[in-house]
């Protein structure tokens, strides 16, 4: 029995299969890499343009990946209506109405700081109008005397430029 197996192995070893072209190219590349490694080990200078460019590409990919984390595939399309997504959140829907956005794509154009600034700007302007009106009547909000005195000085200078 053992003799048959040995004979079968010898027959298989003697036969050569035809290797597809893709595999031949891969074999040539690995052989070229081995020769480059041998030359480098022997102390000769070897130009590795392909290796250098692939390292640069990998480094660029890793920098890009670390700069912006990937969230994966979106679970909701960009054309989805915000009203449906935030059906139970009345305050969020008010913000969308104020920003005049209806879809996720439109909302994604704004950053969180920009949204906060756009929402608070009208309130800040209103508070400043209140402070000025009170200062003109010699009144102030709590702990706001400094603003009132500065405002009255600038107001007086604008009225009487001379």
Q: In the prediction, which pLDDT does 98 show?
A: 94
Cα–Cα distance, 76 to 85 (Å, whole number): 9
Cα–Cα distance, 13 to 16 (Å, whole number): 8
Q: In the prediction, which pLDDT does 108 show?
A: 92
The full DSSP string for 26-59 is HHHHHHHHHHHHHHHHHT-----HHHHHHHHHHH
Q: In the prediction, which pLDDT does 79 show?
A: 86
Q: In the prediction, which pLDDT does 51 show?
A: 61
Cα–Cα distance, 17 to 35 (Å, whole number): 25
Q: Where are the domains of the chain?
A: 75-110, 122-162
Q: Taking the chain (162 residues) in consecutive chunks of 10 residues, what is each chunk's mean pLDDT? A: 57 56 60 61 55 64 63 84 92 95 93 96 96 94 93 88 66
CB neighbourhood size of 95 (10 A):
18
């Amino acid at each position: 029995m053992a003799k048959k197996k040995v004979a079968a192995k010898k027959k298989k070893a003697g036969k050569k299969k035809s290797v597809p072209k893709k595999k031949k190219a891969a074999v040539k590349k690995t052989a070229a890499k081995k020769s480059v490694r041998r030359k480098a080990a022997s102390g000769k200078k070897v130009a590795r343009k392909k290796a250098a460019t692939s390292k640069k590409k990998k480094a660029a990919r890793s920098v890009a990946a670390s700069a912006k984390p990937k969230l994966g595939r979106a679970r909701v399309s960009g054309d989805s209506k915000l009203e449906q997504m935030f059906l139970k959140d009345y305050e969020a829907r008010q913000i969308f109405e104020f920003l005049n956005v209806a879809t996720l794509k439109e909302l994604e154009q704004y950053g969180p700081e920009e949204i906060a600034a756009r929402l608070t700007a009208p309130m800040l302007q209103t508070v400043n109008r209140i402070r000025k009106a009170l200062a003109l009547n010699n009144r102030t909000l709590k702990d706001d005397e400094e603003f009132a005195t500065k405002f009255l000085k600038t107001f007086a200078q604008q009225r009487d430029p001379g």
